[in-house]
Amino acid sequence: MVRWPAEAERLDHLRAAGRARLLLVEGDGPPPIAVDRLEDWIRLPAPDLDLRARVDRLARAAVEAALEQPLVDDDGLLRYSQQWVSLPPVEARLAAALVDRFGSVVSRDALTRAAWSDGQAPGRNALDVHMSRLRRRIESMGLLITTVRSRGYLLAVAH
């Protein structure tokens, strides 16, 4: 819940973090333009009933969004739809990079940078090997890494 336009800066944070938010519009100003479906607004003062209805709807949308989105936590666990696998450090960083851009292509270069932050890439196909092993670990969870030739890799749900 964000007061608007008073807490505009906080709103930016929530948007960037991909969290659901309900804007409490104060004054006569126009409501802001929602950037995605995890955002809604209501003009104050408002009946408790109405406020609750909007919060509920947002909560449902957030659950929906979270369910289809995998997550790599700080302990190197890849979680997805009530399942998880533990990943070795390098693969965890690779998975994190893929999850970050879930559904779109991540270049080999970006993956290399994510996996070996120290800078230099080990060998020319070290990445291939790690990706190969990562594939096996996650396939049992219904996730799939697709190769996009000469562009990179893409993490998606297997179907």
Partner DNA sequence: GCGGGGTGTTCACGTTCGCGAAACAACGGT
Partner DNA sequence: ACCGTTGTTTCGCGAACGTGAACACCCCGC
Question: 82, 117, 140, 150: which one contacts DNA (CB under 7 A)?
Answer: 150
* Interacting span for DNA (CB under 7 A) from 29-37, 40-48, 64-72, 82-90: 82-90
Q: Which does 27 bind (CB under 5 to 8 A by kind): a copy of itself, DNA, none?
A: none
| Beta partners for residue 156, in sequence order | 144
Question: 71, 77, 110, 126: which one contacts a copy of itself (CB under 8 A)?
Answer: 77
Site residues for a copy of itself, 21-40, by CB under 8 A, read 28, 30-31, 33-34, 37
- Beta-strand runs (E) in 53-142: 71-72, 77-80, 83-86, 105-106
Contact 36, 19 (CB under 8 A): no
Cα(2)–Cα(104) distance, integer angstroms: 30
Contacts of 93 (CB under 8 A, 6+ apart): 114, 115, 117
Cα(36)–Cα(67) distance, integer angstroms: 17
Quick check: 83 binds a copy of itself (CB under 8 A)?
no
Q: What is the contact surface with a copy of itself in residues (CB under 8 A)?
A: 28, 30-31, 33-34, 37, 41, 43, 46-47, 49-50, 53, 56-57, 73, 75-77, 86, 88-89, 104-105, 146, 148-152, 154
